[in-house]
Amino acid sequence: MLSLHDKTVAITGASGGIGEATARLLAERGAAVVLAARRSERIDAIAQNIREEGGRAATCVVDVTSAEDLQRLVATTVDQYGRIDVLVNNAGIAPISPLADLDTEGWSAMIDVNLRGMLNGIAAVLPVFREQGSGHLVSIVSVAGLTVSPSMAVYAATKNAVRTVHEGLRRESTDGVVRTTAISPGYIRTDLADSMGDPHLREQTRKNMDAVGIPPAAVARAVAFAIEQPHDVEIGEINVRPTAQA
């Protein structure tokens, strides 16, 4: 296991699930982490717990739909630790429903958080990566962007778009300054189902998570693996799912 003592990592959506697990694991391995989310009490409590266990952690209240909030996250990370080595774009929502339900508010919310939030992160951190001479963008995508299931068309579209943007950035980053990694989990045991408006879909998703979901820590380990690699080694995409589906 490589040490992450020389890494400073900002993580969006860090108030629970994958983001929290990633912050805890990276801090345990020596990285300095900045937890970002809308729930200030929650990220403050997680950061305090990390510090009590000997880790380095700070917080920044962020709504990823705000470009200014992402800029403040990057500035806070640099002010606190002197640089930002990695931005983990993890914030995401899934108010899924059949297209026939015409949930245009849910569609807009997924576009704003899942896609625009990631683009806001790129816009905020890319100039700093260029100025530093190195940086790593990690985004939590989804296997839903690879295989579209009923009721998940818009959610899958946003995740597919994130993957496309990542590939575009990878192809543009030919000077070795910026690395990119897209991590696509299957069902993860998180509270993502809480953002689903349809009670039937919400309950079915929870059952699927219980049946075949993997713990958030499994995704956190994939993030750590990608970050731990030497700068001249790029892990472009990692799919994280059970070896056997129930």
Cα dihedral value 117, 122, 124, 130, nearest 10: 170
* pLDDT digits 0-9 by tens, 141-178: 987 767 787 888 999 999 999 999 999 999 998 888 99
pLDDT at residue 1 is higher than 60? no
Q: Do the strands 56-61 and 86-89 form a parallel or antiparallel pair, or are they unpaired?
A: unpaired
**Which pTM does this prediction carry?**
0.89
Active site residue 81: no
**Is 138 a residue whose pLDDT tops 70?**
yes
- Of the given ranges (32-36, 149-153, 183-187, 199-203), which has the lowest mean pLDDT? 199-203
Greater pLDDT, 195 or 238? 238
State the pLDDT at residue 28: 95
Is 81 in contact with 33 (CB distance < 8 Å)? no
155, 165, 193, 222: the active-site residue: 155
Task: State the pLDDT at residue 49.
Answer: 97
pLDDT at residue 24 greater than cutoff 50:
yes
Is the pLDDT at 193 greater than 80? The verdict is: no
| pLDDT at residue number 12 | 98
Paired tokens of 24: 């805890």
Contacts of 5 (CB under 8 A, 6+ apart): 30, 31
Query: Which pLDDT score is estimated for 245?
Result: 44
